[in-house]
């Protein structure tokens, strides 16, 4: 019965979009609620996913995201664009790190073509993309489904039988927008030794012939992260010139923060990210999905003056001890781990001979 209701739900959504398309003038922003269907999480640390299928005959342009959640219930929410969803159900368990709720299917967020398009945590405000910038979905785009993932850290509020409809209102238009939005997710594998401070580092060179304008960034670690920073690195003679894209304490709300400085990335430029991890544990901590594990992520949200974003969605390295920045850069940013962002100068020029880890 749920399956039937879900199919009818998808059908009515498609019909609704079709009606809205004919009824509304195309240049007005429309608002679509992507919300949890009144779920009742039973266990702390639950991750639920719910999908919408987008009309494959129409391209929609998402220009803003308005969260509908409060810190007390949702710990964080992510929106993924997928080619196919992880499941066809109305709701499924989609957190590898969580205990699955009995009676509800477990599956990944996306079946294929996964990319993050929005993230919210801890009472972060609405995110409005810059003028003319949009995520293109539906139609011939690789995003045929949008899946909402909500992480419930605590379930105290649901003990009395109340349910949750946390989610995101999507603002969209059918008018094609001149600038395509995209997200590049940087991250590492690797491990952190007991009772140590470790740098987890990654870097990728842009190989596509596009001009990329980063405008927001997000950091993500689990409990051991102290600071996460991302840089643009360009070769100047014998030196690597480092420019800060963004830097945050990952224990602060893990939302998208604006990038203060206008910088552009183009073919041949390198993006690099580092997480400083501090372990007071007597065991080795590895990268993984569970809370006992760690993660090192730096997200760059950008626009590009073309109809398509980068084909590259991810930039991952094996992390420590297999990979370190030293292996490919002649100079490193001065103390990327310690100095607060406000005190950082724009450029760092010093050769690796003077750099001590």
Query: What are the 10-residue block averages of pLDDT along the chain, 357 residues in total?
Result: 49 48 61 94 89 96 90 80 96 79 91 92 84 96 96 85 92 96 96 98 97 96 96 89 95 89 95 98 91 92 94 95 94 64 36 34
Judged by DSSP in three states, 352 sits in: helix
The pLDDT score that the predictor gives to residue 207 is: 97
355 annotated ligand binder: no
356 annotated ligand binder: no
Give the ranges where the chain is alpha helix by DSSP (H): 2-23
Can you tell me which residue has the tokens 């946390």? 166
The pLDDT score that the predictor gives to residue 73 is: 73
State the virtual CA torsion across 323, 324, 328, 331 in degrees, nearest 10: 180
Judged by DSSP in three states, 223 sits in: coil
220 annotated ligand binder: yes
The pLDDT score that the predictor gives to residue 76 is: 81
Q: What DSSP letter does each residue of 230-245 carry, written as one string? A: EEEEEEETTEEEEEEE
Q: What is the pTM of this model?
A: 0.81
Sign of the torsion angle spanned by Cα atoms 47, 156, 67, 289 = negative
4 annotated ligand binder: no
76 annotated ligand binder: yes
The percent of the chain in helix, strand and coil, each rounded to the nearest 5, is 10, 45, 45
Give me 256's structure tokens: 């998208």
222 annotated ligand binder: yes
The pLDDT score that the predictor gives to residue 132 is: 96
The pLDDT score that the predictor gives to residue 121 is: 78
- Would you please indicate which residues are annotated as catalytic (active-site) residues? 75-76, 149, 151, 220, 222, 295
């Amino acid at each position: 019965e749920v399956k039937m209701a879900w199919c009818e739900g998808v059908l009515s959504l498609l019909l609704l979009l079709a009606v809205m398309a004919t009824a509304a003038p195309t240049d007005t922003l429309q608002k679509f609620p992507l919300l949890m269907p009144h779920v009742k999480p039973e266990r702390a640390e639950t991750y639920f996913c719910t999908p919408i299928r987008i009309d494959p005959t129409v391209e929609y342009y998402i220009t803003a995201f308005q969260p509908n959640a409060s810190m007390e219930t949702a710990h964080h929410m992510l929106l993924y664009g997928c080619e196919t969803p992880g499941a066809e159900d109305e709701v499924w368990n989609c957190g590898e790190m969580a205990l699955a709720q009995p009676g509800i299917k477990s599956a990944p967020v996306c079946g294929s073509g996964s990319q993050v398009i929005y993230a919210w945590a801890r009472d972060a405000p609405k995110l409005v993309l810059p003028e003319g910038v949009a995520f293109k979905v539906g139609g011939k785009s690789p995003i045929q489904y949008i899946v909402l993932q909500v992480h419930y850290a605590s379930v105290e509020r649901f003990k009395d039988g109340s349910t949750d409809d946390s989610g995101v209102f999507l603002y969209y238009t059918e008018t094609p927008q001149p600038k395509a939005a995209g997200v590049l997710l940087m991250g590492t594998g690797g491990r952190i030794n007991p009772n140590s401070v470790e740098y987890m580092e990654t870097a990728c060179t842009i190989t596509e012939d596009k001009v990329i304008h980063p405008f927001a960034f997000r950091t993500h670690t689990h409990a051991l992260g102290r600071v996460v920073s991302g840089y643009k690195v360009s070769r100047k003679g014998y030196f690597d010139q480092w420019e800060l894209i963004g830097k945050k304490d990952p224990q602060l709300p893990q939302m998208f923060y604006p990038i203060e400085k206008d910088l552009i990335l183009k073919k041949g430029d390198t993006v690099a990210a580092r997480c400083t991890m501090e372990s007071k544990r007597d065991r080795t901590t590895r990268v993984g999905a569970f809370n006992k594990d760690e993660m090192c992520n730096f997200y760059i949200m950008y626009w590009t003056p073309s109809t398509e974003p980068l084909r590259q969605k991810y930039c991952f390295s094996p992390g420590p001890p297999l990979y370190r920045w030293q292996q490919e850069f002649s100079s490193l940013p001065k103390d990327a781990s310690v100095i607060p962002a406000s005190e950082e100068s724009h450029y760092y020029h010093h050769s690796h001979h003077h750099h001590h880890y």
